[in-house]
Amino acid sequence: MTPSTALLDVDDLRVAYGRPKRPWRPGGTRVDAVAGVSLRVGRHETLALVGESGSGKTTVARCVVGLIRQRSGAIVFDGQRLGAGARRPAALRRAIQMVFQDPRSSLNPRMTVGRIVAEGWQAHPSVAPPGDRRSAVRALLDQVGLDATVLDRRPSQLSGGQCQRVSIARALALKPRLLVCDEAVSALDVSVQTQILRLLSDLRDQRGLSVLFITHDLGVVRQIADRVAVMRRGELVESGETEQLFASPQHPYTQELLDAALDLDVTDLDVTDPVETVD
């Protein structure tokens, strides 16, 4: 893929967090959370970003959305270089939306579902529906598989899966072109998880949405990602087409992750034998 066809192009991204100030130990208070990461998300493509906790995958996501500022490196979206969140033109801020891991803490508990979904239109009147907003919200809820009865409920009255659908509806209300999902299905029960993954993959197919999907679950990656990027300790160790990467991982760390991941084991293992099959 040539850079010109990519929707999102992240080049040599570096992010540093300051350590807590310790007056008795001056200097050396920087942690490189992301140390030079480059990745691309194509149009209508789902890129999975994987890695263990602390590898910097969420930091990359937050940078892309503009919630934190990078120290150096470029984030280019549809040919335009993006600055920090607040400095981005409204149209670009709108075009990238995020779905967070914990739907309960990312939805305002005091607002009804109807208000949550419609709230973004106040900041982005350009995509607000011209007529009846309530029926527009209803159409969005229908799209994510929620019926209109949830409209006047609050997040506390919904299940985790329903809350996550509301988060997705809220993101879709702004007609984004890139959806950044940070462990968006990790907190959900498996049966509900499949529903949300199906929804995301339908949205990609029907709306031409691109998705940056952050997860630690390699099984989920294999189900929905077109390409995969593997991060470790702030660096990108490998990236490639999903099937190719799973079939022949090039980096030892990718191999290690794949080896450690569990599959449903229905073979006739001698059960007294320790779990060496996963080693």
Q: By CB under 8 A, name the binding residues for another protein.
A: 52-53, 159-162, 189-195, 197-198, 201, 216-220, 222-224, 243, 246, 256-258, 260-269, 271-272, 274-279
For the CB of residue 95, give the shortest distance to another protein in the complex, in Å. Answer: 26
Distance separating alpha carbons of residues 100 and 234, to the nearest angstrom: 20
Is 86 or 264 the residue whose CB approaches another protein more closely?
264
Q: Which of 169, 9, 158, 163 is nearest to 101 (CA)?
A: 163
For the CB of residue 54, give the shortest distance to another protein in the complex, in Å. Answer: 9
For the CB of residue 28, give the shortest distance to another protein in the complex, in Å. Answer: 20
Is 12 or 265 the residue whose CB approaches another protein more closely?
265
For the CB of residue 2, give the shortest distance to another protein in the complex, in Å. Answer: 28
Is 152 or 243 the residue whose CB approaches another protein more closely?
243
Q: Which of 34, 67, 70 is nearest to 49 (CA)?
A: 34
For the CB of residue 279, give the shortest distance to another protein in the complex, in Å. Answer: 7
Q: Which of 155, 216, 225 is nearest to 182 (CA)?
A: 216
Is 72 or 244 the residue whose CB approaches another protein more closely?
244
- The 3-state DSSP composition of the chain as helix, strand, coil percent (nearest 5) reads 40, 25, 35
What is each CA distance from 31 to 61, 71, 165, in whole angstroms?
A: 17, 12, 35
| Cα pseudo-dihedral 100, 102, 108, 110, rounded to 10 | 160
- DSSP string of 132-146? -HHHHHHHHHHHTT-
For the CB of residue 253, give the shortest distance to another protein in the complex, in Å. Answer: 10
Is 96 or 221 the residue whose CB approaches another protein more closely?
221
What is each CA distance from 102 to 158, 166, 184, 188, 195, in whole angstroms?
A: 13, 12, 7, 9, 17
Is 86 or 275 the residue whose CB approaches another protein more closely?
275
